[in-house]
Amino acid sequence: NMNPKRFNAALVLLMFCLSIVVLAQDDKKPTAKEAPAPRAKSGGKLLTALDLMKVNAVSGPRISPDGSRVAYTVSEIKMEKDKEWKSVGQVWVVLTNRSAKSRQYTRGDKSATAPEW
């Protein structure tokens, strides 16, 4: 039997993980050297490998001992022109009762991973 608080926490975590992944928008126009973005027969833009790299990854969810919060990491690829791309992860926390938005607890160029309570 699962504790109702733990069940609600797990349900909120699942819903949150499904909703957090959002594609980043790329407003950069192709230059003469770049190939145009691939298009579907309908004219719509096709998903590319670069688009997939812009999807933030959610991982490492940890439910607090009292079941009131979930800590997790969000990793994104930093793509700076003329620099090596790198993945940077930050720790976020969300309340399981959905009474507030997620809150970012770490920032910066260095990754923070594997949150624990």
pLDDT of residue 84: 80
In a domain, 33, yes or no: no
As for how many domains the chain has, the answer is 1
Rg, Å, the chain Cα set = 18
64 by DSSP, 3-state: which? coil
Residue-range definition of the domain harbouring residue 115: 1-23+51-117
Q: How many residues does the chain have?
A: 117
pLDDT in tens, the chain (117 residues): 567 777 777 767 666 665 554 433 344 455 556 677 777 888 888 887 777 777 888 888 999 999 999 999 999 888 777 878 788 899 999 999 878 888 999 998 888 888 889
pLDDT of residue 72: 93
In a domain, 45, yes or no: no
In a domain, 44, yes or no: no
In a domain, 28, yes or no: no
Buried b (16+ CB within 10 A) or exposed e, 70-105: bbbbbbbbeeeeeeeeeebbbbbbbbbeeeeeeeee
pLDDT of residue 64: 94
pTM for this entry: 0.60
In a domain, 42, yes or no: no
